[in-house]
């Protein structure tokens, strides 16, 4: 029912321009390390390296133990 109501309804009339209120800055401070994007990118790269390098090093280095062999005729691992 709603589908057909929306399909056959008259188009809405344009009532003009929609304006949103804007705010002015209370203090016009310049903090270069916040306004510059490069330190944030560098910090992100360092954080990603800290998070991913140690696990990848362990996986590639092969320091994990091997799984016990599975024998179909024996329910206990060897």
Q: What is the pLDDT of residues 10-63, one digit of tens each?
A: 877 777 788 889 988 787 777 777 778 888 899 999 999 999 999 999 888 877
Is residue 35 within 8 A of residue 28, CB to CB? The reply is no
Residue 69 within any structural domain of the chain: no
Residue 3 within any structural domain of the chain: no
Residue 36 within any structural domain of the chain: yes
**Structural domain for 46, as ranges:** 32-60
Supply the pTM of this predicted model.
Answer: 0.45
Residue 42 within any structural domain of the chain: yes
Total of domains in the chain: 1
What backbone torsions phi and psi does residue 10 show, to the nearest 5 degrees?
-70, 145
Cα 27 to chain center, whole Å? 32
């Amino acid at each position: 029912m709603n589908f057909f109501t929306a399909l056959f309804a008259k188009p809405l009339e344009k009532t003009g321009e929609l304006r949103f209120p804007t705010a002015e800055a209370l203090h016009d401070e310049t903090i270069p390390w916040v306004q510059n994007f490069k330190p944030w990118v560098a910090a992100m790269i360092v954080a990603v390296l800290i998070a991913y390098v140690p696990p990848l090093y362990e996986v590639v280095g092969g320091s994990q133990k091997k799984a016990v062999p599975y024998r179909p005729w024996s329910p206990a691992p060897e």
